[in-house]
Chain A
Amino acid sequence: MIYFDNNDTTPLHPDVLEAMLPYLKDKFANPSSLHNLGLEAESAVDEARSRIAEAIGCKPKELIFTSGATESNNFAILGSARARPSRKHLIISVVEHASVLNVAKRLEDEGYRVTKLLVDNQGYVSSDALRKALDEDTFLVSIVHANHEIGVIQDVKSLAEIAHEKDAWFHTDAAQALGKIPFNVEDFGVDLASFNGHKLHGPKGIGALYFNRKTRPKRLMEGAPQEFDLRPGTENVPAIVGFGRAVEIAVQDLNEVTTHLKLLVNRLTEGLSEIPDTLLNGPPPDERMPGNLNVTLLYIEGEAILMHLSNRGICVSSGSACSSKSLTPSTVLTSIGLLHEEAHGAIRYSLSRFNTAEEVEEVIEKTGEVVELLRAMTAFVPEKHSERQGGKSFYRQR
């Protein structure tokens, strides 16, 4: 099996599993317990928190554990809204994760104003557009750092500076960024940031939210005073330990893994670009998150490509409407200007440290085979596609 769906989730790193196992067996105690076993669990949580805090450049007391980036995003946005009740305006972008888009929708239903910034055809948010949208009523700007579908990396440092001109807090969803690209909250000047464990070979069901003393969101759940009285509930100690170890490994190996992924994705890009009528979605490879490649294979449907690849032992994901229960194509892809028909044939390849050059060659070969098979049975080849692509173009012009 070849797994090229690592932006969805990643396999657990063997060292992470090793680190977790004692806390799933003998060291099972509640970190709030006062006996030695409890204190040992508490120390493990503290150590993991310190490791992650060090990796992102904050103090341990500025980081709370959550169930994942979805909860962190909810917490950051709703908690900030509750903490700044006199301000009623939220700014996000159109390429946010559902856990940001749908929280924004909830606030809109509650009477808040929500501005969704458009992006250009590679997925970048414009600084000017943010500056124009900001006002004294803006409580928060929330812009994803690295997009899970097209791998575009936003200039969060500049965007945060602009947000601060109107005293708006700045949050970034860094779920995909942590451990894949350098991320430092102090360097970037962000006020809140969301992370999770399972995108960097850690366990599922664990994430974190960074905040600073000035930008402390209001707690959303009531209970005991865990996580600095912000997030009640007994800590998920094995997952926290695994998350800490995963971040430690990812940061330690960042340069080596980035080089490995660039080589693999460059070859994958080169190989897939030889398939006629193929579009690259998002920025060029050297500007995007390492390991990510998103292409549209015109005239055919992404879910069918995905299923054929799956039958050949290859796991990828698709932005096509038929891949979603709602039968709507990826909003990220339509936001960067893809026609619905083009989003329909989109395939995302997302690689990790565990993928190899041999796997890339096999994926190129099998993708070509599947495209040929499906194009042989296709019903229509719309004129506008032929005119637009001429059967050759791969890169879009910005």
Chain B
Amino acid sequence: MSYSLQYIDHFTKPRGVGEVVPPDASSEVKHEGGGCFDNIRLTLRIDNNRIIEAKFRARACSGTIAACSALVEKIEGLNLVEASILTPDDLAEYLGGIPDKKRHSVELVIKALSEALKGLS
């Protein structure tokens, strides 16, 4: 499977690179269970149970960078319940589909979101 236009767009022009300072919620995750060392820092600004700003930093492959960019674009404006039910498949769909070998990327990024939201509860 080749990369979608959305995937290439998010990878080459990533949205939301940086950090929300100080964050209302944050997470640091890395890929487990393999040699892949992708890692992500996700920071969120939350107001009235709604994500109003999301930023990321990543030392990662194209898939994880694209997935981080897609995530911060997608979750800004969502309330916490809407954000908490996002799945890796939702993110893959938002990216116009991803090759199987990049499945770990959307899973890692959704894990980063879950970890950040978990810190709020």
A interface residue numbers (CB < 8 A to B): 299-301, 303-304, 307-308, 311, 320-323, 325-329, 340-341, 343-344, 376-380
Residue contact B12 to A321, C-beta cutoff 8 Å: no
Contacts A378-B59, A379-B58; A327 near B17 (Cβ below 8 A)? no
How far apart are B13's CB and chain A's nearest CB, in angstroms? 11
Residue contact B65 to A322, C-beta cutoff 8 Å: no
Contacts A301-B59, A376-B17, A377-B65; A328 near B35 (Cβ below 8 A)? yes
Contacts A321-B34, A322-B61, A379-B28; A308 near B12 (Cβ below 8 A)? yes
| A321 CA to B39 CA, complexed, in Å | 13
Q: Which residues in A have their C-beta under 8 angstroms from that of B64?
A: 322
B97 on the interface (CB 8 Å rule)?
no
Residue contact A322 to B59, C-beta cutoff 8 Å: no
Contacts A304-B60, A307-B11, A322-B63; A379 near B41 (Cβ below 8 A)? yes
Question: Majority SS of interface residues in chain B?
Answer: mixed
Given A304-B65, A376-B17, A377-B14, 7 more pairs with CB closer than 8 A: A307-B11, A321-B36, A327-B36, A378-B57, A379-B57, A379-B59, A380-B39
Q: Which residues in A have their C-beta under 8 angstroms from that of B40?
A: 379
Ordered by A's residue number, 12 sampled pairs between the chains whose C-beta atoms are within 8 Å are: A299-B59, A304-B11, A304-B61, A311-B12, A321-B36, A322-B64, A326-B34, A377-B17, A377-B58, A377-B65, A378-B59, A379-B39
Residue contact A344 to B14, C-beta cutoff 8 Å: no
Q: Within the complex, which residue of B14, B28, B36, B39 is in contact with A322, where a contact is CB–CB below 8 Å?
A: B36
B87 on the interface (CB 8 Å rule)?
no
How far apart are A373's CB and chain B's nearest CB, in angstroms? 9
Question: What residue in chain B is nearest A308 (Cβ atoms)?
Answer: B12
A311, A328, A376, A380: residue with the most chain B Cβ atoms closer than 10 Å: A380
Residue contact B37 to A321, C-beta cutoff 8 Å: yes
Task: Count B interface residues, CB 8 Å.
Answer: 27
Interface residues of B in 37-88 (CB under 8 A from A): 37-41, 56-65
How far apart are B64's CB and chain A's nearest CB, in angstroms? 8
Residue contact A377 to B57, C-beta cutoff 8 Å: yes
How far apart are A301's CB and chain B's nearest CB, in angstroms? 5
| A308 CA to B13 CA, complexed, in Å | 11
Question: What residue in chain A is nearest B19 (Cβ atoms)?
Answer: A379
Question: What residue in chain B is nearest A329 (Cβ atoms)?
Answer: B35
How far apart are B40's CB and chain A's nearest CB, in angstroms? 6
Question: What residue in chain A is nearest B33 (Cβ atoms)?
Answer: A327
| A307 CA to B8 CA, complexed, in Å | 9
How far apart are A309's CB and chain B's nearest CB, in angstroms? 11
Residue contact B37 to A340, C-beta cutoff 8 Å: yes
Q: Which residues in A have their C-beta under 8 angstroms from that of B8?
A: 311
How far apart are A265's CB and chain B's nearest CB, in angstroms? 27
A303, A320, A323, A344: residue with the most chain B Cβ atoms closer than 10 Å: A303
| A328 CA to B12 CA, complexed, in Å | 24
Question: What residue in chain B is nearest A343 (Cβ atoms)?
Answer: B35
How far apart are B31's CB and chain A's nearest CB, in angstroms? 8
B36, B41, B61: residue with the most chain A Cβ atoms closer than 10 Å: B61
Q: Which residues in A have their C-beta under 8 angstroms from that of B38?
A: 301, 322
Q: Which residues in A have their C-beta under 8 angstroms from that of B56?
A: 377
How far apart are A74's CB and chain B's nearest CB, in angstroms? 26
Contacts A322-B63, A377-B14, A377-B17; A344 near B58 (Cβ below 8 A)? no
How far apart are A258's CB and chain B's nearest CB, in angstroms? 35
Residue contact A328 to B34, C-beta cutoff 8 Å: yes
| A325 CA to B35 CA, complexed, in Å | 11
| A340 CA to B14 CA, complexed, in Å | 26
A-facing mask of B96-118, CB < 8 A → 1, else 0? 00000100100000000000000
Q: Which residues in A have their C-beta under 8 angstroms from that of B60?
A: 301, 304, 322, 379
Question: What residue in chain B is nearest A318 (Cβ atoms)?
Answer: B61
| A340 CA to B37 CA, complexed, in Å | 8
The 9 closest A-B pairs by CB, nearest first: A322-B61, A328-B35, A327-B34, A321-B35, A303-B61, A379-B57, A321-B36, A307-B62, A327-B36
